[in-house]
Structure formats: C-alpha cells, structure tokens
Structure 1
Amino acid sequence: MVDLMNPNGEDTELLLMGPGESERSWRLNFDGFRRSEPKEKPPRGLHDCLGVLGTEDCVAEYYQQQVEMLEGFTEMDALAERGFLPGMSKEEREKTARSETLAIRISNFANMALFAAKVYASVRSGSLAILASTLDSLLDLLSGFILWFTAFSMQTPNPYQYPIGKKRMQPLGILVFASVMATLGLQIILESVRTLLSDLALYTIRTWSATVLENVNSLVGRTAAPEYLQKLTYLCWNHHKAIRHIDTVRAYTFGSHYFVEVDIVLPSDMPLREAHDIGESLQEKLEQLPEIERAFVHLDYEFTHRPEHAQAHS
C-alpha cells in the first residue's frame, strides 16, 4: 500500500496490484476519469439567437470533446481485450443486408412503375410540371441503378485485376451521379433564369457540388481527423508492453475507407519471430476497425531517423 497525493491535495492510498493486474500496468488507463454531472444552463440572450458562442459554450464544447475522446479510448480497450468490436453478429449483419437488398429492389420497381405512369401522363397532357416530375423520377432510377451497380461490383471481387478489392467503387459511383446532378442543375440555371427567384436549382447545385468535393477528398488521400488519430495511437500503445515508442501514426482516405501506416519501436535485441508476431497482430487488430481497409505496421528499433517516405519540397 502506497500513499499518494490526489489533485485536490488530499492523501489517498494505492493498493498494490496482484499478479494478474500487473500484466496490464504498462497500459494507459483512463478508468479514473469520470464525466461530471451536467449543470443546467442559464437562460441565454440575444447572442444565443445570433449563433455567437459565449465563454460557457466554449468550455462546454471543450469538455464534450474530452468525453468523446474517452469514449473512443474505451472502444479501443474493448477491441484490445475482446479481439473484436461490440455490435451485431455476422448472422445479424447478413439478415440486415438481405433486408436492405429487398428494400432497394422494391424501391426500384416502384420507381419504374411511377416513371412509366408519368411518361404516359406527360405525353397525354403536355404539362411542363408533369414533365419536370418525370425527369425527377428518371434521376431516381439513375441513382438506384448506380447504387446497385456499385454494390454488385464491390460484391464480385477479382483478385487478379483488383488485388486490394473494389470498395472504392462506391465513392466513384456517387461522384458520377453527383456530377450528373450538378450538370443538370447548371442546365436549369442557363435555360430558366426566371426560376432563379426560387432556390430549387441553386440548392441542388450547392448540395451536389459539396458532395462532389467530399468524394474528391476521399480519393486524393486526405488525412483522418485528429480525434481518430488519437484513437489509433491509443490502440497501438496498448497493444503490447514491449512497444517502447510510437514513431508515426498516419490514416488517410483511399476511397470510402482509410489506409493506416504505423511505425512502432521495439527493443533492438528482440527476436525476429516475436517482433513479427507483435506487428502482425497489431495489423490485424487495426484492420478490424470498420473505417480501415488496410493497415501497414513498420517495425523499428530507434526513432531518431528521418520519417520514411518524406515528401520532397520543391
């Protein structure tokens, strides 16, 4: 039993851990941090209506970020201890996938029947309003076809032509459909200047243009958010007690998922077999995260060298 001083200046006692608990003593542990009870906010004035953040709002936002970070660390602890993420079982996921497939098929058949009825009504009446509704149904059919085609492509892998899979078909399909939507919106602007007094066309262009930019970022290798990198670093450090240092943790977009590169430092005298097992098990653990498609773990014995694959500055 050891006497310690807590942050409030009071003496506390720390019980020595038994043999089973000493195995986890090298891991980072955030069990001592607890979320305080939320306090009732005072009534706000005009600045709250204008969207201006006050001092209390900034403090609340900061603590909310800390709570989310601790929740992410707890998720990483669950993965490290159980070897899998809590959630639906494989049978439940397959049942959900079948239900979604059935819903998509029903939606496509309904859209086809509705489109045929609107085409007939447009020809018979010659109404521009019905014609516009017919084009809207045509776009629904087009989006359904693109989603079906991308899903079918991802479910039919070809390891010879696509050695790392075809999961990047999804953002590519969304990119194609978003480009069509943005082009049609631009055409509406060029041909219907008077309708610009209403925001139907401008909203469509703005929304789908933002979708285009989002999917472009997912294809050019944009880095993950700092909060997600914190979770990965936490998982890597708690992976094995032999890890001496974490040199680099990178996560960048490659389609709709992330590629992860991790550099860890192990003792220089560690046998190759043991070092390989540590790196391989960390790679498998990282690839269990749903956001990660591939993970690469680099083993090193020191961290004073320059980073690998450093970008050349012109």
Structure 2
Amino acid sequence: MTDPRDPDLHNALSLRPRPAFTHRDSTEQARAADIELQSLPSYTDANDPYSLRHGLKTATDLDTIRANTSRKRTAGCTPVAAGKEAWKTRKLEEFYETQNENISRLLKPVDDHVREAKEKQDSEALQFKIAVHGSFAANIILAGLQLYAAISSGSLSLFTTLADAIFDPMSNLTLILCARAVNRVDPRRWPSGKARIETAGNIAFSFLMTAVSLILIVLSARDLAAGNGGKLTADFHLASAIVVGVAFCTKLSLFFYCWALRNTYSQIRILWEDHRNDLFINGFGLMTSILGAKVRWWIDPMGAIILSCLIAFLWLRTATSEFKLLIGVTADTAMLQHLTYISMTHSPLILSLDTVRAWHSGPRLIVEVDIVMDQEQTVKDSHDTAEALQMKLESLPDVERAYVHIDYETSHAPEHFTKKEL
C-alpha cells in the first residue's frame, strides 16, 4: 500500500493474489522487538496474506518522522517545521495516519464491521429519534412563530425565511414517512427494497423548495420596481426581530445536535444540512430586514432576492447529489478497495479477481464481483465459495445486494455492456 507502483485497486480489472511469505531481515526483527510495534493488533500470514501490517506506522514511527523533519533546515537556516514548508510535515503525518486507518479497516474481519455497525446503530437509536422527532416538533413551532413575524412586519426577507420555515416540517414528515416505508417492505412487490424512496423524496422536496424560491424572487423584484412611496426606510417591528432571533438560536442547537449523527444516517444528514442552511437564511434575513428599516428600504427586497437565489442553489445542489445516487454513481475508492480485499482473501479457491464494481442504488450500494476459479473445480465447491462471498459482502452495512459471478479465465470481453444498441 505504501509502494506507489502498486496497482490502483479502483481501476484494476484482474488481480491474482499471491501471498507473500518472506524472511524478515535484521531491521524487521528489530522493529518487531519495539514495544510500540508489539502493542499493535496481532496479524499473521493467515489473516494478513499480503503483509499489509508492515505498512503500519506506530506512534514512535510518527514521532521519529516529526523529529527528523523538525531538525531539517531550509536555505535560510530556518527549521522546516517553523517555515513555509510546515504544511508538508503535517501532510506527511496525515498520510501515514490515513494509511494506518485504511490498513486497519482492510484487516478488520467483516464480522467486526457488522458488529460495530449494529452496536453503533443500537446505541444511537434514541439519539436518532430525538433528532428526527425533535426537529419536526421544533420546526412546527418555529413555522408558526415566523408566520407571525412575517405578517406583522411585512418584510420580504422575513417572508423568505417563512417560506423556508413552512417547508421544514414538510421535509421532516417526508423523512419520517420514507424511513417507515423502507422498514415496511413487501418483498413480493418490491424485491429490491424501498431504500431509494428516501432519495426520491429528497429530490421532490428539493424542486419544491426551488419553485418557492423562484416565486419569492418574482415578488421581490416586483416590489423593487414599484418603490416604497418616497420613504427612505421601511417600518421596524421589534417583536418580529425577536422571533427570528429565537428561531436562529433554536436552529443552532439542532445543528450541533445533528452534527454528530450526520455520517451515520442519511435522514439525519439531510436534517443537518437543512439546519445549516436555515442558520444562514435566518441570520441574513434578519439582518436585511433590520437594515431595510434602519438604512434603506430596498435592502429588504434585495435581501429576499439574494436569499431566494441561495435557497434555490443549495436545494438544486442537494438534488444533483441525490440524482447521482439514484442514477447509480460509483462507490468511493476506499469502499472499492475494501470490497476488493474482502473478495481476494475470502477463500484460497479464488485464484484472482476479474472485476469488482460497486455503485449506488439510492443511499446503499449494489456490488458486482467476478471471481476466477480453477476450471476443474467442482460445481458444488464453486457455488459454495461464491455464495459465501455473496453473503459476506451483503452483510456489510452499506451494501444492499451483491452479485458474485464465477469465471475460469480473465481474457474474455466484459460480461455486460454499458451502452445498449437496441
């Protein structure tokens, strides 16, 4: 993994595993005696046939790299760690830290990945419910408060924040209903599950918010063209400003609460992004409303236009990312490497890999692996090996379904066409 000449597992089509059994030299024996190295997890040729463990860097190794770099001097006799190249030192440390994480992730048994994911999900189940239902209740209350603020003040900027606030409970309700639909699936009618309904709901909601933003842009432009009847400023309503300030503080609290769970649940990530957007929208809307009442009246409708454009941009960006998941964008490189390593080390009967693919089907992944086995192998052994690999891959938390195909050579053309002629 540390050798830059190693093939990129992301692009590899054929990989023939050859376990490396080499004798350690004196340097490696000295490293094995190091206390820090002995504190690392115990890996052997049985559970680490490709000797990835030799790429692990201990805390002592990282300290040595840091110390060696700090002793180096630039042309101006300035220590590297204190000069312009200090970021290179940090980049080197980050590289080895990331490498340690990747190696540990690859060498960790699949059962441990499944167990840790289940334990994490069970431990965060209550937090998930609080985040979803708490956000739903808070958004309903805030929508009522901001409705009062917008109507009483007549500020277009606050009407923009109101439009966003009204659709927040609808967004929460959509996420709750989608989560329930995913868990209640009739396998005869929906053989591939309903995980993509979350993605479809997010796309629909994104376009709905974009449409509302365009309507507000038109209304604000009309008010700018009509003028303010000769007045330099608009009327200021203190209660409305206080209400929007309360909404800002509430959204800030929800933002920090959902931040810790954003990478565990796709629903929470959507909520976290929504709270993040609301922070800027409420803050900017409050500012332009006050400036319109204290400085110049046109700041308020102009702020509404800017906010509406921002809302449309953010939700269209969300729709784009959700479209990619729905269409089937490829999995990230780290996931492809993990799938490849699991397949390579699954069984000694697997001679090599012909293809490893993984793509999104909504929030989860579809995996396709072509393994190469001896053509003299019995059908029973080939089937059992492929089925066991399929079950192992499907047990991973992010995998929706895995397909394992058996080949006896790698010189043939790809099995599937990406472009249909008919």
- Give TM class, smaller chain: 0.7 to 0.9
Partner Cα separation in structure 2 for residue 268 and residue 166 of structure 1: 38
Give the counterpart letter for 1:239 in structure 2.
Answer: H
Structure 1 residue 280 displacement after superposition: 1.2
Give the conservation status (yes or no) of the 8 Å contact 2:163–2:212.
no
Give the conservation status (yes or no) of the 8 Å contact 1:263–1:298.
yes
| Aligned position for 1:252 | 359
Structure 1 residue 300 displacement after superposition: 1.5
| Aligned position for 1:309 | 416
Matched, 1:232 2:263: no
Between the two proteins, the alignment pairs up a number of residues equal to: 293
| Aligned position for 1:75 | 105
Give the conservation status (yes or no) of the 8 Å contact 1:249–1:263.
yes
Partner Cα separation in structure 2 for residue 99 and residue 290 of structure 1: 19
Partner Cα separation in structure 2 for residue 305 and residue 276 of structure 1: 21
| Aligned position for 2:209 | 181
| Aligned position for 1:201 | 308
Matched, 1:43 2:83: yes
Q: TM-score, normalised by structure 2?
A: 0.60
**Residue 165 of structure 1 is aligned with which of 155, 171, 193?**
193
**Residue 60 of structure 1 is aligned with which of 91, 108, 126?**
91
Give the conservation status (yes or no) of the 8 Å contact 1:263–1:299.
yes
Structure 1 residue 260 displacement after superposition: 0.7
| Aligned position for 1:28 | 50
Partner Cα separation in structure 1 for residue 47 and residue 124 of structure 2: 37
Give the conservation status (yes or no) of the 8 Å contact 1:79–1:285.
no
| Aligned position for 1:18 | none
Say if 1:23 and 1:143 are closer, same or farther in 2 by CA, change over 3 A: closer
| Aligned position for 1:215 | 322
Q: Counterpart of 1:223 in 2: which secondary structure?
A: coil
- Percent of pairs identical after alignment? 26
Q: TM-score, normalised by structure 1?
A: 0.78
Q: CA RMSD in A?
A: 3.5
Give the conservation status (yes or no) of the 8 Å contact 1:4–1:13.
no
Question: If each structure's strand is expressed as a fraction of its own residues, which one has the higher value?
Answer: 1
Structure 2 gap segments, 5+ residues each: 1-20, 33-43, 71-80, 225-300
**Residue 143 of structure 1 is aligned with which of 171, 176, 181?**
171
Q: Which 10-residue stretch deviates more, 134-143 or 36-45?
A: 36-45
Q: Counterpart of 1:192 in 2: which secondary structure?
A: helix
Partner Cα separation in structure 2 for residue 294 and residue 234 of structure 1: 18
Say if 1:177 and 1:296 are closer, same or farther in 2 by CA, change over 3 A: same
Say if 1:64 and 1:307 are closer, same or farther in 2 by CA, change over 3 A: farther
Larger RCO, structure (CA 8 Å, separation 6 or more): 2
Q: Counterpart of 1:253 in 2: which secondary structure?
A: strand
Structure 1 gap segments, 5+ residues each: 16-20, 49-53
| Aligned position for 1:87 | 116
Partner Cα separation in structure 2 for residue 164 and residue 279 of structure 1: 20
Structure 1 residue 24 displacement after superposition: 5.1
Partner Cα separation in structure 2 for residue 11 and residue 123 of structure 1: 77
